[in-house]
Amino acid sequence: MSSLDDFRAATRDWLEANCPQSMRTRIVAGEEVNGGSKRRSTNPDAYVWLERMAERGWTVPTWPREYGGGGLDKDQFLILLEELQRIHARPPLGGMGVTMIGPTLLEYGSEEQKLRHLPRIASGEVAWCQGYSEPGAGSDLASLQTKAEDKGDHFLVNGSKIWTSGASHADWIFCLVRTDTAAPKHQGISFLLFSMDSPGVTIKPIELLNGKSPFCQTFFDDVKVPKEDLVHNLNEGWTVAKRLLQHERSGLAALASADTAGPLERIRPELPLGQLAAEYAGGDIEPGLRRDIVSNDMTKQAFHLTQQRTVEESAGGTPGAATSIFKFVEAEYVKAQLELQLRIRGTQGVGWSGDTFTDMELSMARLWLEAKSISIAGGSNEIQLNIIAKRVLGLPD
């Protein structure tokens, strides 16, 4: 037997013995673990699973061992993914630590920053949030105005961020700030890390129509940030910011992570769409709907195969501008899938409450609305298409 065969056998045995049964199903809302202690999973098994996986470094399988990772090479990583998928294991840890700031620090952090932050991300001890967007800077992110003044041994940060997902549960923030107001806008930005418990940080949850508050407006008044929390060079934060966005889009499209199924699988209805349609239409599915279901399923299959190929080619790393292709295609696929579910269910698909609807019908109606945000979060569709045109296809400005 080759050493890879041994690795597979040992991995299979270990997962069999250590993955709790309740962690072998689709993720249930409220049971996720995204790091930190301010928001707890409702399922205690989630922490058993997290601790066991973190001990082996398998919350971040390809990170070096000294930073809390598993030190797996490409082949071992792919085997681990296959074995996790085989038992339908949930990812032990999600959130912006493992998917966004961790991989970015691996590339751009100082040795001191890596040793300080990465092990605490890998163990799930710390939750992070993203301070990019501002009321006047979304798609045109480089127009951001939050400023950081040089005060010798520290920066003094003033300004505000908006749509800060999970800010009220986060322990730390990675934040884009303006450090040179005279330079061209992309060249006066720096990338800072600071604790959300720092004096001067105020968090105001933004309540949505459905009563949820997934994001906040975040205010900074004279927040002191030590100089050692500057990532990469002063005024070169835009380079770091762009790379982090590639990790974000890669995470959204579930590339290079243990969660290769990603949102595509998470929104999967209990039944394949064809069967769902047969159930609601009593077997008489109109031809237009039939065609759209098939076309949606073909997109899913093609996406899944391309996703697998990319994970294999990228050896656990994150591709560059091509991540925008995955982000765009997935956003469109997911929205189309939910539109189809709505069409199939008819009036049963738009229920908000009441006992004339099943739980599945009620939850899918909310998901249908929520999914509209997928083509905005992490950069809107139009921005992804701009990036694909310029950076992937090489078209002129």
Residue whose tokens read 């598993």: 70
Q: Which of 75, 299, 380, 389 lies at the binding interface for ligand FAD (CB under 6 A)?
A: 380
Site string for ligand FAD, 349-378 (x = CB under 6 A): ------------------------x--xx-
392 by Cβ neighbours in 10 Å (0-12 / 13-18 / 19+) ranks as middle
CB of 116 to ligand FAD, least distance (A): 22
Q: Cβ–Cβ contacts within 10 Å for residue 151, how many?
A: 12
Whether residue 248 lies in the annotated active site: yes
Residue whose tokens read 């698909």: 349
Site string for ligand FAD, 123-142 (x = CB under 6 A): ------xx-xx----xx---
By C-beta, is 95 or 188 nearer to ligand FAD?
95
Site string for ligand FAD, 197-226 (x = CB under 6 A): ------------------x-----------
CB of 71 to ligand FAD, least distance (A): 30
* CA 381 – CA 325 distance, rounded (Å): 10
The alpha carbons of the chain give a radius of gyration, in whole angstroms, of: 22
Tokens representing 291 are 């065609």
Residue nearest to ligand FAD (CB): 138
163 in contact with ligand FAD (CB under 6 A): yes
Spatial neighbors of 364 by CB under 8 A, at least 6 apart, are 269, 338, 341, 342, 345, 349
By C-beta, is 81 or 100 nearer to ligand FAD?
100
Number of H helices, E strands in the chain: 13, 8
194 in contact with ligand FAD (CB under 6 A): no
By C-beta, is 214 or 320 nearer to ligand FAD?
214
Task: Judge contact between 53 and 93, C-beta under 8 A.
Answer: yes
Tokens representing 135 are 């009321």
Q: How big is the site for ligand FAD, counted in residues (CB under 6 A)?
A: 19
CB of 34 to ligand FAD, least distance (A): 12
Compute CA distances 380 → 72, 225, 375, whole Å.
34, 31, 5
CB of 72 to ligand FAD, least distance (A): 29
By C-beta, is 118 or 241 nearer to ligand FAD?
241
End-to-end CA distance of the chain: 54
Compute CA distances 285 → 288, 348, 389, whole Å.
8, 16, 39
164 in contact with ligand FAD (CB under 6 A): yes
Catalytic site residue from 83, 236, 248, 330: 248
379 in contact with ligand FAD (CB under 6 A): yes
* CA 76 – CA 79 distance, rounded (Å): 5
Active site residues: 248
- Contact residues toward ligand FAD (CB under 6 A) are 129-130, 132-133, 138-139, 161, 163-165, 215, 373, 376-377, 379-380, 382-383, 386
